[in-house]
């Protein structure tokens, strides 16, 4: 069967562009994406490796998640009204085998009927005479079900029950002939939703204690690209899921974060914390905020005006200069937290002091995603201009249950923007000395070549980065290239050296030369590597 969303597109594309395929053209990376090239990629690897090392000392373990998930997973967790879900996701249609459950609920039947409808319109279901007829009847049954009140099966009126039975039968036949139907899928804009999905799918609540996970990888948001803001960007994140919401968990995750930032040389950072309350207290505060915002609506910009009704907390995020004095007069959540949230927040602050972690309270830190409860936090760094947030995170206690998991599971996590962390390290000039090319083997003469190959392998076996020219070079050219490649040493092997078994090791920085046997050479390089200047 033809007709999977992206395949249709590929087929159309092939047909449309066939005549042009022979013309020469160059390609560039798509807007908002970029290549990370050497030597920058070495800095990236080092930053990610440092995160792994630090996080593992806190008991976190790596989780590798898919890069695309069902769109609905993101819509449910991040929130349909958030900018991310509303306008920034890269979505496409994927195919998935769908089976009708043994005794489906009305909700599930309506959902499947919607899916069949969409698939029918896209031509994904074979248009056989039988399917045409069944589909007509299904549409009728679907309408009947939709128009009826949503009542339990037992309490259903006869026409509705009939409608339901017909719909089930028809769905069964159509799904049977379709085999697979399209499902809306999106490239992940963040990885908390996927982590929670995986936690539930693999029954990780049964694991002992809190489950601590970390991930690294690309995320995708269709934002307006600028310095520090890309459509494919990278995050290093961590999540703690489990039965406890002790403030010490929040504090420990913040400690880990700041230890990591210090380890990679990002010291000019500021940690902001806030509590945005829970299901019990936040709605009341949001209502109060909304009332106050309505009073000043005329003075706000269009975005904030829209958000008053859709996502009032987000108004506090506004950066518009003329809205700032107005926002400052609005009621603050700290005065409206319920006793449990208030206590949680004050214990968190005690824990931060206990760990000597400097922080600032920021009552306007609400974060854009729906799933946050209580603790929210952000870290900013210097040298990044307007996109200065390098990390964001918070608690999401109800998310596991919202996504169909065990009730009562609590969660907290953060995501570091790797691109921005690296930009900030580069701007600070505080770059680590990463090992580069150690030895350039300058060989000359056919008899020297086998010796050069053998020594290069031995050095590489010991972990040294070695460049062995594939073709013979003149002496001067060889040393010139060694220099340009930034090699620490040139190992000179001519035919005489090959015959005598003694080689010249030249340190390129100061031209110091030593004549060494193979054993001495290996020992010398090892001891230099161990030494203070290695």
Q: What is the CB neighbour count within 10 angstroms for residue 148?
A: 16
Q: What is the CB neighbour count within 10 angstroms for residue 263?
A: 14
Using the minimum distance from each CB to ligand AMP, give the nearer residue, 32 or 494: 32
Q: What is the DSSP string of 430-453?
A: ---------EEEEE-STTHHHHHH
Min CB(214)–ligand AMP separation in Å: 14
**In contact, 403 and 77? CB cutoff 8 Å:** yes
Using the minimum distance from each CB to ligand AMP, give the nearer residue, 75 or 390: 390
196, containing H or E segment: helix 192-201
**In contact, 45 and 161? CB cutoff 8 Å:** no
Using the minimum distance from each CB to ligand AMP, give the nearer residue, 226 or 346: 226
Rounded CA-CA distance 368/255 in Å is 23
> β-pairing, 513-517 with 360-361?
unpaired
Place of tokens 């880990």: 256
Using the minimum distance from each CB to ligand AMP, give the nearer residue, 405 or 417: 417
Q: Kindly tell me the burial class for residue 168, based on how many C-beta atoms sit within 10 Å of its own C-beta (0-12, 13-18, 19 or more).
A: middle
Q: Kindly tell me the burial class for residue 281, based on how many C-beta atoms sit within 10 Å of its own C-beta (0-12, 13-18, 19 or more).
A: buried
Using the minimum distance from each CB to ligand AMP, give the nearer residue, 391 or 479: 391
Min CB(503)–ligand AMP separation in Å: 49
Using the minimum distance from each CB to ligand AMP, give the nearer residue, 240 or 441: 240
Q: What is the DSSP string of 277-342?
A: --TTTHHHHHHHHHHHHHHTGGGS-HHHHHHHHH-GGGGGG---GGGHHHHHTSPPGGGG--HHHH
Using the minimum distance from each CB to ligand AMP, give the nearer residue, 94 or 370: 370
Min CB(29)–ligand AMP separation in Å: 15
Give the closest residue to 277 by CA, choosing from 226, 207, 336, 330: 336
Q: Cβ neighbours of residue 302 under 8 Å, at least 6 residues apart?
A: none
Using the minimum distance from each CB to ligand AMP, give the nearer residue, 204 or 415: 415
Determine the length of the chain. Answer: 534
Min CB(333)–ligand AMP separation in Å: 19
Min CB(368)–ligand AMP separation in Å: 6
Rounded CA-CA distance 435/509 in Å is 15
Using the minimum distance from each CB to ligand AMP, give the nearer residue, 189 or 277: 189
Min CB(381)–ligand AMP separation in Å: 9
Min CB(221)–ligand AMP separation in Å: 5
Min CB(492)–ligand AMP separation in Å: 47
The binding site for ligand AMP (CB under 6 A) comprises: 190, 221, 223, 228-230, 233, 235, 389-392, 415, 417, 419-420
Using the minimum distance from each CB to ligand AMP, give the nearer residue, 420 or 506: 420
Min CB(79)–ligand AMP separation in Å: 12
Rounded CA-CA distance 521/515 in Å is 8
**Closest residue (Cβ) to ligand AMP?**
417
- What is the edge-to-edge ordering of all strands in the sheet holding 180-187? 68-70, 180-187, 91-97
Rounded CA-CA distance 196/398 in Å is 11
Using the minimum distance from each CB to ligand AMP, give the nearer residue, 364 or 460: 364
Using the minimum distance from each CB to ligand AMP, give the nearer residue, 230 or 260: 230
8-state DSSP, 187? E
Min CB(234)–ligand AMP separation in Å: 8
Rounded CA-CA distance 190/236 in Å is 10
Min CB(217)–ligand AMP separation in Å: 12
Min CB(78)–ligand AMP separation in Å: 9
Place of tokens 């070495």: 42
Q: What is the DSSP string of 35-95?
A: ---TTHHHHHHHHHHHHHHHHHHTT-EE----SEEEHHHHHHHH-TTSHIIIII--EEEEE
8-state DSSP, 29? P
Min CB(426)–ligand AMP separation in Å: 15
Using the minimum distance from each CB to ligand AMP, give the nearer residue, 163 or 417: 417
Cis before 325 (ω within 30): no
**In contact, 416 and 238? CB cutoff 8 Å:** no
């Amino acid at each position: 069967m033809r007709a999977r969303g992206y395949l249709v597109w590929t087929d159309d594309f092939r047909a449309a562009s066939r005549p042009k395929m022979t013309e020469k053209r160059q390609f560039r990376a798509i807007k908002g994406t970029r290549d990370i090239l050497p030597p920058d990629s070495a800095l990236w690897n080092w930053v990610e490796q440092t995160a792994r090392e630090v996080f593992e000392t806190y008991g976190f373990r790596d989780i590798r998640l898919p890069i695309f998930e069902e769109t609905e997973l993101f819509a449910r967790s991040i929130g349909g009204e958030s900018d991310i879900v509303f306008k920034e996701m890269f979505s496409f249609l994927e195919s998935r085998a769908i089976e009708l459950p043994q005794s489906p609920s009305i909700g599930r039947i309506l959902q499947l009927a919607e899916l069949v409808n969409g698939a029918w319109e896209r031509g994904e279901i074979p248009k056989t005479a039988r399917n045409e007829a069944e589909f007509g009847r299904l549409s009728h049954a679907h309408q009947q079900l939709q128009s009826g009140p949503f009542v339990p099966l037992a309490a259903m009126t006869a026409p509705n029950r009939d409608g339901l039975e017909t719909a089930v039968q028809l769905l069964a036949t159509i799904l049977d002939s379709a085999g697979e139907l399209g499902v809306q899928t999106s490239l992940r804009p963040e990885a908390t939703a996927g982590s929670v999905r995986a936690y539930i799918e693999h029954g990780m609540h049964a694991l002992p204690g809190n489950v601590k996970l970390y991930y690294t990888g690309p995320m995708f948001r269709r934002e307006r690209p600028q310095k520090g803001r890309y459509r494919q960007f990278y995050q290093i994140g961590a999540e703690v899921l489990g039965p406890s919401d002790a403030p010490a968990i929040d504090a420990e995750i913040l400690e880990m974060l700041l230890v990591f930032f210090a380890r990679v040389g990002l010291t000019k950072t500021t940690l902001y914390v806030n509590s945005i309350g829970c299901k019990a207290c936040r709605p009341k505060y949001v209502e109060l905020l909304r009332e106050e915002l309505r009073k000043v609506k005329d003075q706000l910009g269009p975005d904030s005006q829209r958000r008053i009704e859709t996502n009032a907390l987000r108004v506090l995020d506004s950066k518009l200069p003329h809205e700032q004095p107005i926002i400052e007069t609005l009621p603050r959540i700290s005065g409206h937290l319920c006793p449990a949230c208030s206590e949680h927040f004050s214990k968190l602050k005690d824990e931060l002091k206990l760990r000597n972690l400097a922080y600032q309270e920021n009552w306007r830190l609400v974060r854009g995603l729906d799933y946050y409860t209580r603790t929210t936090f952000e870290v900013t760094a210097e040298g990044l201009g307007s996109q200065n947030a390098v990390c964001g995170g918070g608690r999401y206690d109800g998310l596991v249950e919202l996504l169909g998991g065990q009730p009562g599971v609590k969660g907290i996590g953060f995501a570091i923007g790797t691109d921005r962390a690296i930009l900030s390290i580069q701007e600070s000039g505080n770059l680590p000395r990463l090992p580069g090319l150690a030895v350039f083997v300058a060989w000359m003469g056919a008899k020297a070549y086998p010796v050069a190959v053998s020594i290069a392998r031995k050095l590489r076996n010991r972990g040294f980065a070695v460049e062995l020219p594939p073709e013979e070079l003149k002496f001067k050219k060889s040393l010139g290239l060694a220099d340009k490649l930034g090699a620490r040493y040139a190992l000179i092997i001519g035919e005489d050296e090959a015959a005598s078994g003694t080689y010249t090791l030249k340190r390129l920085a100061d031209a110091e030369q030593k004549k060494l046997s193979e054993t001495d050479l290996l020992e010398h390089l090892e001891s230099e590597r161990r030494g203070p200047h290695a």
